[in-house]
Amino acid sequence: EDQVTQSPEALRLQEGESSSLNCSYTVSGLRGLFWYRQDPGKGPEFLFTLYSAGEEKEKERLKATLTKKESFLHITAPKPEDSATYLCAVQTYNKLIFGAGTRLAVHP
């Protein structure tokens, strides 16, 4: 059965304290892995797409990496405005399957 698991469920960081979020997956026929950011009361917003093991993408303080079994979202020197829920999703043949997300809180 296709499955996406994110950890930790919640993460509290001090401003400037770097960390990583994990997304592990077991799917048949991975066609892409996506990271989204979701703010309270809003729909998810696209961050990155990764297609193959070894691929990396960066955007400001965020860097996403992909292996054959998991993806990491690295957050370098986070700021309070990075506080949000980060969702990982994997694309199979015809479906986009989401993990439960990691709630990130960055405190000044």
Partner 1 sequence: NAGVTQTPKFQVLKTGQSMTLQCAQDMNHEYMSWYRQDPGMGLRLIHYSVGAGITDQGEVPNGYNVSRSTTEDFPLRLLSAAPSQTSVYFCASRPGQLNTEAFFGQGTRLTVV
Binding site for partner 1 (CB under 8 A): 4, 6, 9, 31-32, 34, 41-46, 49, 51, 87, 89, 91, 93-101
Identity of the residue, 24 or 76, whose beta carbon is nearer to partner 1 in the bound complex = 24
CA distance 69 to 23: 9
Identity of the residue, 9 or 81, whose beta carbon is nearer to partner 1 in the bound complex = 9
CA distance 42 to 25: 25
CB 54 → partner 1: shortest distance, Å?
Answer: 17
CA distance 91 to 96: 5
